[in-house]
Amino acid sequence: MLNLKGAQSAKRSKINVLKIAAIVTAALLMLPILVVLVNLFNANDAVWQHLYETVLADYVSNSLWLMFGVGTGVLLLGVPCAWLTSMCEFPGRRWLSWALLLPMAVPAYIIAYTYTGVLDFAGPVQTMIRQLTGLGYGEYWFFEVRSLGGAIVMLTLVLYPYVYLMARAAFLEQSANTLEVARTLGCSNVSAFFKLGLPLARPAIVTGLTLALMETLADYGTVQYFSVSTFTTGILRTYYGFGDIAAASQLAGVLLMFVAVLILLERYSRRRIRYHTSGIKKANQKHIKLTGLAGVGATLMCFLPISFGFAIPAGVLAYWAVFLAEPIGSDFVQLAWNSFYLAALAALIVVGLALVLSYAVRLNKSRSVTASVTVAGLGYALPGTIIAIGTIVPLAWLDHRIIELVKAYTDGKVGLIFSGTLVALLFAYTVRFMAVSLGAVQNGLGKIKPSMDMAGRSLGLTPSKVLLKIHVPLLKGSVLTAILIVFVDVLKELPATMVLRPFNFNTLAVRAFELASDERLIDAAPASLMIVLVGLVPVILLSRSISSRIEQSK
């Protein structure tokens, strides 16, 4: 009896340790946001007044126009393509349904560099126009790619898959006889789409739109390269130009309010909305057959976003990298190694912490643990610039306290331990991408029956051993997926890496941005192409996962 009580007491102590670890981890991951909020009240009044009088209006107006333009663009591309590939039958529908996700592999700043090289005054398109028409500079009109409109187009081409993915899932889940009922009531296919299909899919579409707009607010590389003043560019200019972290934090706080408004609007749009499906399998679904001009039009509608969002940029980058760029040397190998080992290390840390947090929620149903894990996943909604500023402040403070302590008690010298090393980068990546890993791990844990935990404990295994010996092997697919997604996200991350990287440390993303900023677009092609090729891997896995789920539902 005493042994049983002792075992139960040991089990409770293990669970309590896990609970405390989850709460402490979540508190640390929330630190950058708290730092930004605290610094809202500590900014230099003179600097803030200068920003208010000169550039703040531009930051607000450009950010709003960017959100409006990108929001309109992703809806016009994502929703029709989702409807066509899920409800209609036309030539090429099967491969177009997954190929429409390919632009997700191309970061917005890379597609911006590519189209600038193609469409700028010295590019092949305008050169050909001048040769064919005999017109000179200023004698003809051409779309100015380096502009607010150009940034809207670039971001739209790579962000529409968020809306497409969410909308297509919603259309596929709709009842198989919904459209049949609409047609029996005299509705055409078009009116059925607007009166039934679109309203039923509205919550999913709004969710995809919100994700696209948050990515728009988080973008730095595209707007900086196109000289469009937004909050992300303003934060880094204030940080580097004025050296005023508090003023940069104030700008970050305003941007944080934009993000909060988007999240609240998304939640508000789904209030009191409850849509239910009949559960009829999709095997009974009769696709709308589009033939003739209608079929050709549907194929073109779905093919154009793939062409402009992936095929053309990837083809141009490949041509530049193989035929025109400087030969790859030791510098490129070092950049690739820096990028890959940093991304791999970050992915292992993030997924490892996600396993601990997710398992803590599984064992502890208390509100404190659930709330802590929810808070830990908030970083994905924040731009990398906010997280970078929120990371550098506390780590720099800690470094200076350590330096003072060492000077007070010893004659030795110590440098920057946290803020000047990869520790700051890895911490920022953990804050930024924890939500991605949590989603994959929690989804996998949810599929493991609680009886597996009970069986492990009946064999005398502690909670930690149950996690390592039972859950981790069963979660192999989810864990590998999470590692891969975080790896690619870290590889593409630009603003946080630029702010927090140590001196003389570069990555593929930063090097591509530096070369593009120096107008060496062709020399930036190898680094850019490498990022795109690596980014293809999770996109292909995502496409295969969606296709397999669709096949299983039939």
Residue 180 has pLDDT above 70, yes or no: no
pLDDT on residue 552: 55
As a whole-number percent, the residues of the chain with pLDDT over 90 amount to: 31
Q: What is the pLDDT averaged over residues 509-525?
A: 91
Question: Which has the higher per-residue pLDDT, 297 or 195?
Answer: 297
- pLDDT for the residue numbered 278: 46
Q: What pLDDT does residue 425 have? A: 93
Per the prediction, the chain carries an average pLDDT of 82
Q: How confident is the model over 99-116, as pLDDT tens digits? A: 999 998 899 999 999 999
Q: Which of 307-311, 376-380, 516-520, 546-550 has the lowest mean pLDDT?
A: 546-550
What pLDDT sits at residue 299?
95
- For residue 1, the model assigns a pLDDT of 46
Say what the pLDDT of residue 434 is: 87
pLDDT of 554 above 70: no
Q: What does each C-alpha distance from 251 to 30, 60, 237, 265 come to in angstroms? A: 18, 10, 11, 21
| Both structure tokens of 300 | 């073109």
Of residues 179 and 119, more confidence is placed in 119
Cα distance between residue 75 and residue 208, in whole Å = 9
Query: How far is C-alpha 78 from the chain's CA centre?
Result: 17
Single pTM value for the model: 0.85
The confidence score (pLDDT) of residue 279 equals: 45
380-437 pLDDT per residue, tens: 777 888 888 889 888 988 888 888 888 888 876 777 888 878 999 999 999 998 887 8
On whether the CB atoms of residues 506 and 457 are closer than 8 A, the answer is no
Q: How many Cβ atoms are within 10 Å of 426's Cβ, its own excluded?
A: 18
User: With helix as H, strand as E and coil as C, how does 187-231 read?
Assistant: CCHHHHHHHHHHHHHHHHHHHHHHHHHHHHHHCCHHHHHCCCCCH
**CA distance linking residue 62 with residue 427, whole number of Å:** 31
Q: What is the pLDDT of residue 14?
A: 55
Query: 382 or 270: whose pLDDT is higher?
Result: 382
Q: In whole angstroms, what is the distance from residue 360 CA to residue 79 CA?
A: 38
Highest average pLDDT, of 118-122, 415-419, 438-442, comes from 118-122
Residue 71 has pLDDT above 90, yes or no: yes
Share of the chain above pLDDT 70, in %: 87
Res 220: pLDDT? 92
**Can you tell me the mean pLDDT for 191-195?**
70
* DSSP calls for 128-184: HHHHHH---TTSS----SSSHHHHHHHHHHHHHHHHHHHHHHHHHHS-TTHHHHHHH
SS3 state at 88: strand
Domains annotated on the chain, with CATH? 11-35+327-507 (1.10.3720.10), 43-325+522-554 (1.10.3720.10)
Flag whether pLDDT at 61 surpasses 70. yes
Q: What is the pLDDT of residues 273-327, one digit of tens each?
A: 555 444 444 444 567 788 889 899 999 999 999 999 999 999 999 999 999 988 8
Calculate mean pLDDT across residues 153-176: 85
- Strands 288-289 and 88-89 come out as parallel
Q: Give the mean pLDDT of 522-550.
A: 81
- Greatest pairwise CA separation for the chain in angstroms: 98
Give the range among 25-34, 208-217, 371-380 with minimum mean pLDDT. Answer: 371-380
Q: What are residue 89's DSSP bridge partners?
A: 289
Q: Name the least confident of 88-102, 214-228, 232-246, 522-536.
A: 232-246
- Written as one string, the DSSP assignment of 270-306 is TTT---------GGG--PEE--HHHHHHHHHHHHHHH
Rounded Cα–Cα distance for residues 151 and 314 (Å): 18
Name which residue leads in pLDDT, 168 or 442: 168
Helix, strand, coil shares, percent, the chain, to 5? 80, 0, 20
